Amino acid sequence: MESISVQGLDALLEKGQKLREILRETPEIIDFLQLVKDTGGKASIVPLQTDRLIRAGEAASVLCVDKGTIYRYEREGKLEAFYTDGSNQKKFWLSRVMKLPKRAARAE
């Protein structure tokens, strides 16, 4: 049996937490992975929807703006917010966020 360092465990834990978040936000990935497994990974498969919902903070990071700007975009009709089951946080489709202009990063 191979031993693993504490740093290795920390890295695995971090990857596991990221995977859990991805699966919670985009559960259809499980169906996609099952399809890949069933086809032996040899078929060309394009998922029907590769988009995902992201929270306002993530949207703000993508656009290099603050969360207030994201909520302003929503009020102005530039961005539509959605709620997912079991969550009271507004979420936004990543593809729609990516279509908005990105603010140039400020020099500090």
Cβ 56 vs Cβ 92: under 8 Å: yes
Domain assignment of residue 2, yes or no: yes
- pLDDT at position 70 is 94
Residues 55, 25, single domain; the answer is: no
Q: How far apart are CA 102 and CA 65, in angstroms?
A: 8
Q: Indicate if 69 and 89 belong to the same structural domain.
A: yes
Q: b/e per residue, 87-99, with b = 16+ CB within 10 A?
A: eeebbbbbeebee
Q: Is the pTM above the cut of 0.75?
A: no
Same domain, 21 and 64: no
Q: In this predicted structure, what is the pLDDT of residue 67?
A: 94
Residues 38 and 75 in one domain: no
Q: Is residue 108 part of a domain?
A: no
CA distance between the termini of the chain: 49
Instruction: Give the model's confidence band at 18: pLDDT under 50 very low, under 70 low, under 90 confident, else very high.
Output: confident
CATH number at 73 reads: 1.10.10
Asked if 36 and 66 sit in the same domain, the reply is no
Q: Which domain holds residue 17?
A: 1-42
pLDDT for residue 5 is more than 80: yes
Q: Which H or E run contains 103? A: none
